[in-house]
Chain A
Amino acid sequence: MGLTDIAKMLADGTKDTLIMVLLSTLFGYIGGLPLGVLLSVTDENGLKPMPALYMVLDIIINITRSIPFLILLILIQPFTKAIVGKSYGTVATVVPLTVAAIPFIARMVESSVKEVDKGVVEAALSLGAKKFTVITKVLLAEARTSLLVGVTIAVGTILGYSAMAGIVGGGGLGDIAIRYGYYRYETEIMIVTVVVLVLLMQLLQWVGTLISKKLDRRRG
């Protein structure tokens, strides 16, 4: 394989990885953000305590989070197949990544929202704001720095998972690293692939931190 072929393969892998990670993060937040808000709101110190609902959600999330990602990936293969039509490849991997991401994101959102000072919430209530307004205009608005830090962590974690998915033909950079490094002993390609993964992670962290700082009004 020539250098240009390798470069092309890595470029495609990077593209696949990015698509996989970004889609999973997006779907992860579509599910995880409302779930996390629901958790923080129904908690005993939340805006509308609902102990039974909180307990059920809490248990479901704990169970899903304790399943190792690789096991989850295999466990839900039938589900993945039902949705995407096949259980391997870049698009298919988005399904288990999303399933793994939702409870994890929900937990981070929950903790970000809980960081918002209770006094500020009471101030909004005392001004006559409805609970829904408090959620959207106070809780989410005031938690935004922490929520963004969460997005950075989520993308990073999903990137890590996506590389793991390479073991079962998940596509992307992880797939390349495993195919060349593990099965064919082409260590150089594996190293280069890993370097690209590391660079992606660094870039991500850097952009995430930058945006969070920009949006933080609490400090000078």
Chain B
Amino acid sequence: MAKELLKIEHITKSFDETVILRDLSLTVKEGEVLVIVGPSGCGKSTFLRCINGLETIQEGSIYLDGEKINDRSANLEKVRQKIGMVFQNYELFPHKTVLQNITMAPMLVQKKPKAEAEKEALSLLERVGLSDRKNFYPRQLSGGQKQRVAIVRALAMHPEILLFDEVTAALDPEMVREVLDVMLDLAKEGRTMIVVTHEMSFARAVADRIVFMDGGNIVEEGTPSEFFDNPQTDRAKKFLSTFSFDRIEKKDEYAGNPI
């Protein structure tokens, strides 16, 4: 059995008085692809941000590789290098070229020599089909291209786990696919990933396990077929129903007299 890479125990996160995550626990095994779904505002982004310390939690513990990472004594910079994050709005550095965006952290944070960092960046760009864009600035790229660069930027740090926060939500429909394909590729490679998404057919295809969140906690979890074909809770059923439409039946009755 694969080892537990990330272990989250009873975490609670609140902003001022409002509790956003309550007593949430979750374990991710090495090589596992976990997909988190749930209504908007239920705390998915906050949860991902707690994992890499962009938000501080009030209670509970987070362990990466058995090491507690939410301590004051934990080296947050070290920990974050092991946790790659891809954001909904890409967050590329606007004044840096594609190549500089990717090599910046390996060079500044991991002190890699420039030549090595660039060589690696280029081979990663090649993989996502963007090596011809290496000298472009972010504004010269389409949304899908930006997001692929952002994924490469995270990969260049050799993270142990990747967090994806609705990375296709800001994209035009025709660009969603190119980004999802890159993620499917990473999953096939055996990467450990936590993916927050509203793309249900992608979730079904990529996930080893689906976690359904609502109201700041995990309401249901299971394999994709368990969750999608046989949801247990009413809340999950209601959530899933928002993604499907019932075929309209009474078309003829109204024909000729639109309301």
Interface of A toward B, CB cutoff 8 Å: 117, 119-120, 122-130, 133, 137-138, 141-142, 144, 217-220
Question: Closest approach, in angstroms, between the C-beta of A135 and any C-beta of chain B?
Answer: 12
Do B108 and A123 touch across chains, with their CB atoms under 8 A apart?
Answer: no
Q: Give Cα A123–Cα B165 distance, bound, in whole angstroms.
A: 12
**Min CB gap A47→B, angstroms:** 12
Set of chain A residues within 8 Å of B121, measured between Cβ atoms: none
Please determine whether B108 and A129 come into contact, CB atoms closer than 8 angstroms: yes
Cβ of B80: which chain A residues have Cβ within 8 Å of it?
125-128
Judging by beta carbons under 8 Å apart, are B93 and A138 in contact? yes
Chain B residues with CB under 8 Å of A138's CB are 93
Closest to A145 in B: B95
> Are B153 and A120 neighbours in the complex by a CB distance under 8 Å?
no
Shortest beta-carbon contacts, A-B, top 6: A128-B81, A127-B105, A123-B91, A119-B91, A126-B85, A128-B80
Q: Flag if B52 contacts A126 (CB, 8 Å).
A: yes
User: Could you give, for residues 46-88 of chain B, a 1 whenever the CB lies within 8 Å of some chain A CB and a 0 otherwise?
Assistant: 0000001010000000000000000000000111110111010
**Interface of chain A, main secondary structure:** helix
**Given A133-B108, A133-B109, is A120 in contact with B139 using a C-beta cutoff of 8 Å?**
no
Known contacts A126-B54, A128-B109; is A120 also within 8 Å of B81 by CB?
Answer: no
Question: Which B residues lie at the A interface, using CB under 8 A?
Answer: 52, 54, 77-81, 83-85, 87, 89, 91-96, 104-105, 108-110, 137, 139-140, 150, 153-154, 157
A123 and B87 contact, CB distance less than 8 A: yes
Whole-angstrom CA separation of A130 from B76 in the bound complex: 9
9 pairs from A and B in contact (CB 8 Å cutoff): A119-B87, A123-B93, A127-B157, A128-B80, A128-B109, A129-B105, A129-B109, A142-B95, A144-B95
Contacts of A122 in B (CB 8 A): 54, 87, 91
Q: A117 contacts which chain B residues (CB < 8 A)?
A: 91
Report the bound CA distance from A144 to B93 in whole Å: 13
Across-interface contacts of B91 in A (CB, < 8 A):
117, 119-120, 122-123
Q: Which residues of B contact A137 (CB under 8 A)?
A: 104, 108
Residues of B close to A141: CB separation below 8 A: 93, 95-96
A128 touches B87 (CB 8 A): no
- Cβ of B77 and Cβ of A129 under 8 Å apart? yes
Residue of B nearest to A127 (CB): B105
Q: With the chains together, A137 CA to B109 CA distance in Å?
A: 11
In Å, the complex CA distance between A123 and B104 comes to 12
Chain B min CB distance to A141 (Å): 6
* Residues of chain A contacted by B157 (CB below 8 angstroms): 127-128
Contact of A142 among B93, B137, B139 (CB under 8 A): B93
Bound-state Cα–Cα, A61 to B154, Å: 40
Q: Are B139 and A130 in contact, CB atoms less than 8 angstroms apart?
A: no
- Tell me the complex Cα distance, A133–B110, Å: 12
Give every chain B residue within 8 A of A218 (Cβ-Cβ): 94-95, 139
Q: Complex: how many Å from CA A218 to CA B95?
A: 7
Assembled-state Cα–Cα distance A126/B81 (Å): 7
Determine whether the beta carbon of A119 is less than 8 Å from that of B89.
yes
- Chain A residue at minimum C-beta to C-beta distance from B78: A128
Instruction: Give the shortest distance, in Å, between B95 (CB) and chain A (any CB).
Output: 5
For A128, the chain B residues whose CB sits under 8 A away are 77-81, 105, 109-110, 157
Chain B residues near A129 (CB-CB < 8 A): 77, 105, 108-109
Other contacts beyond A120-B91, A126-B83, A128-B81: 9, CB < 8 A: A119-B87, A123-B153, A127-B157, A129-B109, A133-B109, A137-B108, A144-B95, A217-B94, A219-B139
* Alpha-carbon separation in the docked complex, A127 to B96 (Å): 16
Partner of B95, one of A123, A127, A130, A217: A217
Beta-carbon contact of B78 and A217 below 8 Å: no
| B93 adjacent to A120 (CB under 8 Å) | yes
CB distance B109 to A217 under 8 Å? no
B105, closest chain A residue (CB) = A127
